[in-house]
Amino acid sequence: MRISVIGTGYLGATHAACMAELGFEVLGVDIDLAKIEALANGVLPFHEPGLPELLRKHVASGRLRFTTSFEEAGVWADVHFIGVGTPQRAGKHAADLTFVDAAVRSLAESITKDALIVGKSTVPVGTARRLRELIDRHADGARRIGLAWNPEFLREGFAVRDTLSPDRLVFGVDSTEDEELLRAVYADALAADTPLIVTDFETAELVKVAANAFLATKISFINAFSEITEMVGGDIRTLADAIGYDARIGRRFLNAGVGFGGGCLPKDIRALQARASELGLDRTMRFLSEVDLINLRRRDRVVHLAETMLGPLLGKKVAVLGVAFKPDSDDVRDSPALDIAVRLFNSGADVAVYDPEGNANAAKRFPRLGYVDSLEAAVTDADLVLLLTEWNEFRQLTPADMMPLTEGRKIIDGRNVLDPAEWEHAGWDFAALGKRFVP
């Protein structure tokens, strides 16, 4: 079986390399020529642990190739995965489906043999059924082109592991023939007893957005309690531990901090609200607008704390540790850390940003921030240090590491990974999200 993967970003490049690792011949397709050239040379254009090795291995073996030609994919592959972007529409909450539509249409026009198109992108409910009609309109009718929806749950930073050993597989299908083909693609994971849910298009689409809405809600839930503990005192981490012991709740995704970001959760909860409204269900997902607002207020809180600790920000040197939206990723899409850095810069602060992997992407979006290539360079002479992405390098920070470098001795732990007592004992002004701060 030959596989094409349309869209070779975080999802698609990972999926393509992992499919090659499973033994398939794979063709990655993208409209971005620079990306395709890099990948074809075995160079991964983004950071993802373990993926560069897989890419190089399978480009070298010839099992993994890349092209910008849909015609080549349409003639060659039996199964076509769609992993193109579904970003937030400019100025709207809804998802922009133009990339998905364009990719599916190009494929339908290019396919010259019986084939299966498998959507992996995160889409609003109803998309697959609409695409089914679009395929029928644009295909020549002489071939059988199946359609399935197989949402992707990988986490950046763990993308290879999550793709090779998913915690569940969801197949949204409308024929047993398509289901059988997908079972063959995922034979290894199924042999390893990965739970499989075979369902209709609508459920498959909704599983993905429901999972992301739940995760976002869980994060904002604990962050809402942060607003209370910041006011009355109390320890947000202890609160999370204590409720997390209840197996019905669970401790994961209850880490109080600057909140969620990235290319998925923010746009997915907004797209879900927009889709519900389109369906006439304006109230149904309205709680997600509160989830979004709680999340965004965390950024205000950090800026407010910085102003409380420093007074007017003009000319103050602020070290920002972390701009990626999460550790082990270079993704700065909708990153709370980057947003906070920009807001401090716009208030006149002299911002020095250091992220082990995210600086280059952040610099493309906001070239005017000061980017430095080491933690030492960022914190040297800083009036205030902000820890905003919990890279391991930052989790292990101690006051002793910083003392010789920074006079300011003021720090905000935006991820609740440092020990407040240790820093306060060493004479630092220590603030954290969810912690009452008394100047």
Nearest residue to 259 via CA among 317, 336, 206: 336
The least distance separating ligand NAD from the CB of residue 268, rounded to whole angstroms, comes to: 7
Q: Shortest Cβ distance from residue 128 to ligand NAD (Å)?
A: 13
Catalytic residue among 100, 264, 321, 324: 264
Hey, what are 235's tokens?
């320890």
Cα–Cα distance for residue pair 428/439, rounded to 1 Å: 12
Alpha carbon distance 373, 74 (integer Å): 44
Output the smallest distance, CB 362 to ligand NAD, in A.
16
DSSP class of 95:
B
Q: Closer to ligand NAD at the Cβ: 8 or 335?
A: 8
- Least CB distance to ligand NAD at residue 31 (A): 5
411 forms beta bridges with: 385, 430
Single-letter amino acid code for the residue at 394: F
Is 30 or 330 the residue whose CB approaches ligand NAD more closely? 30
Partners of 252 in the beta sheet?
A: none
Question: Exposed (0-12), middle (13-18) or buried (19+): which is 430, by Cβ within 10 Å?
Answer: buried
Closest contact distance (angstroms) between CB of 97 and ligand NAD is 10
Q: Which residues lie below 8 Å from residue 59, measured CB to CB, with a gap of 6+?
A: 39, 40, 41, 42, 65
Of 22 and 215, the one with the shorter C-beta distance to ligand NAD is: 215
Binding residues for NAD(+): 30, 35, 86, 122, 156, 267, 333
CB 150 within 8 A of CB 171: yes
Residue 375, judged by CB atoms within 10 A of its CB (0-12, 13-18, 19+), counts as buried
Binding residues for ligand NAD, rule: CB under 6 A, are 6-12, 29-32, 35, 83-86, 99, 102-103, 121-122, 152, 154, 156, 263-264
Percent helix, strand, coil in the chain, to 5, is: 45, 15, 40
Measured from the CB atom, the residue of 7 and 172 that comes closer to ligand NAD is 7
Instruction: Mark the binding-site residues, compressed into ranges.
Output: 30, 35, 86, 122, 153-156, 208, 253-257, 261, 267, 326, 333
343, 50, 2: which is closest to 181 by C-alpha? Answer: 2
Give φ, ψ of 357 to 5 degrees: -130, -20
Positions at the binding site for substrate: 153-156, 208, 253-257, 261, 326
Tokens of 161: 């592991």
CB-wise, 31 or 40, nearer to ligand NAD?
31
The residue nearest ligand NAD at its CB is 9
Q: Is 264 a residue of the active site?
A: yes
Q: Which helix (H) or strand (E) holds 64?
A: strand 64-67
Helix, strand or coil, per DSSP, at residue 261: coil
**Smallest distance, ligand NAD to C-beta of residue 387, A:** 23
Query: How far is Cα 22 from Cα 186, in angstroms, rounded to an integer?
Result: 9
Q: Which residue has the tokens 């298009």?
A: 201
List residues with catalytic annotation.
264
